[in-house]
Structure formats: C-alpha cells, structure tokens
Amino acid sequence: MMLLTYQDFLEEPNVLDFIGKAINQHVSSEDYKIAQEADAYDRQKNTTIYNYVRMIFTSTGAPVQDFTAANNKIASNFFHRLNTQRCMYSLGNGISFSDHKEKRMVEGVEQTVDLTDEMLGTEFDTDLKDGAYKALIHGVSFGFWNLNKLYIFPLTEFVPLWDEETGALRAGIRFWQLDKDKPITAVLYEEDGYTKFRGGRHSGNMNFAVVQPKTAYKQVYRESAADGVEVVGAENYGSLPIVPLWGSKLHQSTLVGMQRAIDSYDLIRSGFANDLTDCAQIYWIISNCSGMTDAELARFRDRLKVQHIAVADTDNSAVTPYTQEIPFQARQAYLDAIRAGIYEDFGGLDVHTVAAGATNDHIDAAYQPLDENADDFEYQIIKFVQQILALMGVEDTPVFKRNRISNQKEQVEMVMMEAQYLDDETVLQKLPNVTVDEIPGILQRKGLENQDRFEADVPTDEENENEEMQEETP
C-alpha cells in the first residue's frame, strides 16, 4: 500500500479526489488495522478468542465446524489493564512545570502559582491522559491545539501527511462517520488554515464537497448593535497546530508482541472450560450389550443417573463405572508462566509479586521494569507538550509525579526526619498520600491557621493599656 505524503498532496491538482483517496488508503493500511484490533482488545473483545471455532475433520479430511462441542470464549483483560497502568503511572497525578513560577497572594496567603499550568487550563491533564492512552494502544495519537483547548485525534480518525524530507507532520485529514448510512465528514488541516468537507450518505461514498472554505485557526470577532458579530481579523500559528504523540520510541502499538501471548492465555483457559463441559464426570462401559439400541442405552443411562442402580447378568455382561480427570496442574502452571511473561515483556508491575509489608527497597526493585518503560514514555510526552507550548510561545519542561504504591509509613517517617531542613511546600510534595492538586489548598489553610495563631498571640491595645497601668501602680 503506497503511503501518501505531504508532497503528494501538493502535487495533486484535485483536492476533493485526494481526500477520498487518502482516507481509503489509510483505512486499508496495516497501522489502521492494528489500531482497530487494539481497540477490540482494549474493550476486552479479544478477536482471536471471539472468532475461534472448534473444528472436526470428516472421513475425507475436510474440516467442518463441530456444533456439538462446547465453545466457551473467555477473554482476558491484560491489554487494558497494563496500558492503563503504564499511562496512569506517569500521568495519574497530572503534570506540573518547572520554569514559570510566580508568588501570588491568594486569600491573604502567599502561594506559588504554576503559570504554564494556568495557561493550559484545567482540562489539559485530562486531555493529555486521553491522548497518551491512545498513543500507547495505537502507537500514535495526534493533539490539536485550538486556542486554549487540546483535542485528541486517534489514528483511526486521522490521516497524517508527513514531509518526505524532514519527516515532520505538515498536514492531516480528520474523518468520522456516525454510521454506515450516514454522511462521512472530513476536515483538512494545513499550516495556513482548515477546510471542511462532506461525502455521501453511505459507507464508501467519497464524493466530497466543500461545506466550509479554508478558515484561519485564530478568528478575531467584533460585536456591535448595528452590524452584529463580524470577523475583523484572522491569523494562524507559526506551524501546523497538530502534534503527534508517540507511545514509545518503537512507534508501534503495544498490541504488537503482546497479542500472541494474550491469545495463548485465552485459548488455554477457554479450552479448560470446554473440557469440563464436554467430559462427563462419570461414564460407564457396558460389556456384551451390543444389541442395545441408542434409545435403550439412553434409558439405561437415565436410570443409572436417577436410581444409581443397574441390573446386569454378571455371567455374560458387566457395567463398569469410570471417572475422567481433566488435567489441571500442567495447564495452571502454563497459565501462570504466560501471565508472568506478559507482565515481564510489557514491563508492568504484577502486584501479586509484592509481599505484604515489603520495604521500599523491595518495592522499588519490583517497579524497576515499569520505571524503565515510563522513562521512554515520559520522554515522548515531554516532546509532545513542549511542541504544544511552542505554539503558545512558551518554553517550559513538564514534571511528573509517578503514581506508585509504597510502604507509606516508612516513606512518611523519612520525610518527617528531613522536614526540619525543608520548606512546607517541599515536604508536602514528598509525602506519598498528598496529591499535587491538594498542595495549594493545604498551604493556604495552613497559612490562615498561622495567621490566626499570630493574631491571637499579639496583645490588643486594651491589654497593652492594662499592662502599662499595672506597671505604674506602686
């Protein structure tokens, strides 16, 4: 499948034809198909186990579906859980910034305000988590910075147009469709503005028409009683306001490499359930009764199950009961090995490996694989956020507070031992049970308490006068 680039877009004389061709090629690409499959695994609709059909072979060797066999389909949730763990480990507490700080009086208490975080808005952390999670499961997501709001475009809704020379994202097409019988909408994003298109009312109809001509990203409006609201100015950013966010340096979905292990786990666990269903706990072998018909055998079996009594001529026939044990230990050992391998290969933390009461040294050792992958993941986030800030004309570096379990008693004791050498804000930042968002409120309330305590200790004018009178009295 040929990759369409930004140069291909520039050379295309008919933009409408290019939009349809680009979308068709994108949805046929391997990256798009992997992203769709990753979405299914993320919803615990693991495609391999869901599509699995038990087969038998006829006397001629032709495979046919076995409709009599049990076909339990038990899908595991490894994919969603491990990706959620990696994402929330770095972003569960949000991000802060290191460079632009300002001391500000808030309700009479001096506080340190993060100016960059204030500029990005209250929803930025939530939007960033959404984009980061999609970047993990799809390999990449795209963040559109629109004045003061971050919008996330998943790979399943966005066609990137990369520059052949620099590899930079120079343009892109976002597309969506509510249902197969609804019109498809597409928006072409370029450095000098965006254009909106609409296609036909059924799936595959790429006969696009322009519904909104090219518009600048920043519009300046003026409202007056005579003219109403009118556009008086327009401008664009210095570059395309859409930034790619990669899930890792590999630039691929986390499903790659993990899928086969998940499928193997699902198939073995489902196969065990199928064997329990298919294999009777007790069965009988009847000797010298070849003349019994199927109906007679069924009645014989029913009588055994209900009355637990069988009458047989012991000289010429016999009824022997047997029990069939389903192999369990070998399967359970293999399932445990697959589970451990999935966590190890992904670099996740299996909480079952952390013993109760473990020291922070043991916990840190268990977190080592997750820390290594988080370093790579956070590096991708730093590059993404800095490019978003560059669109705003700001230079700053995001800071992460990783969301991890710990021996809190041990950690709190260590912080308290160091507290005499640290300021209040630093102490709160190091406490494991205090989040970043709680720190300003705690400092504010603590400042008010100190102020009230100080005012209570300062004598009033009346108390000062009484003290002076007592000193003058002989």
Between helices 30-42 and 124-138, what is the axis angle to 10°?
110
Judged by average pLDDT, the poorest of 131-135, 202-206, 238-242, 283-287 is 202-206
Average pLDDT on 273-297 reads 70
Higher pLDDT pick, 280 / 130: 130
Instruction: Go through the chain and tell me how many residues it has.
Output: 474
User: Using one digit for the tens of pLDDT, what is the confidence trace for 308-351?
Assistant: 676 766 566 777 776 666 677 888 888 999 999 999 999 998 88
Asked if the model's pLDDT at residue 387 lies above 70, the reply is yes
Can you tell me the distance from the alpha carbon of 83 to that of 279, in angstroms, rounded to the nearest whole number? 37
**C-alpha span between 188 and 194 (Å, rounded):** 5
Q: Is residue 80 a contact partner of residue 301, using CB atoms and an 8 Å limit? A: no
Secondary structure (H, E, C), the chain: CCCCCHHHHHHCCCHHHHHHHHHHHHHCCHHHHHHHHHHHHHCCCCHHHHCCCCEEECCCCCEEECCCCCCCCCCCCHHHHHHHHHHHHHHCCCEEECCCEEEEEECCEEEEEEHHHHHHCCCHHHHHHHHHHHHHHHCEEEEEEECCEEEEEEHHHEEEEECCCCCCEEEEEEEECCCCCCCCEEEEEECCEEEEEECCCCCCCCCCEEEEEEECCEEEEEEECCCEEEEEEEECCCCCCEEEEECCCCCCCCCCCCHHHHHHHHHHHHHHHHHHHHCCCEEEEEECCCCCCHHHHHHHHHHHHHHCCCCCCCCCCEEEEEECCCCCHHHHHHHHHHHHHHHHHHCCCCHHHCCCCCCHHHHHHHHHHHHHHHHHHHHHHHHHHHHHHHHCCCCCCEEECCCCCCCHHHHHHHHHHHHHHCCHHHHHHHCCCCCHHHHHHHHHHHHHHHHHHHHHHCCCHHHHHHHHHHHHCC
Closest CA to 192 of 160, 170, 162: 170
User: Residue 330 has what pLDDT?
Assistant: 81
pTM assigned to the model: 0.78
pLDDT, residue 124, reads 96
- Assess whether pLDDT exceeds 80 at residue 71: no
Percent of the chain having pLDDT more than 70? Answer: 78
> Is residue 296 over pLDDT 90?
no
What per-residue confidence (pLDDT) applies to 295?
82
**Residue 272 and residue 331 in contact, taking contact as beta carbons nearer than 8 Å:** yes
| pLDDT value at 435 more than 80 | no
CA–CA dist 73, 454 (Å, integer): 68
C-alpha 472/C-alpha 337 separation (Å) is: 89
Question: CA 152, CA 134: separation in Å to the nearest integer?
Answer: 9
Q: What is the mean pLDDT of the chain?
A: 83
Taking alpha carbons only, the member of 287, 294, 290 closest to residue 310 is 287
Angle ∠(279,280,284) on CA atoms, nearest 5: 125
- Round to whole Å and give the CA distance between 146 and 152: 11
Q: Where are the domains of the chain?
A: 6-246, 259-326, 407-474
How sure is the predictor about 431, in pLDDT bands with cuts at 50, 70 and 90? confident
- pLDDT value of residue 287: 75
Residue, of 12 and 108, whose pLDDT is higher:
12
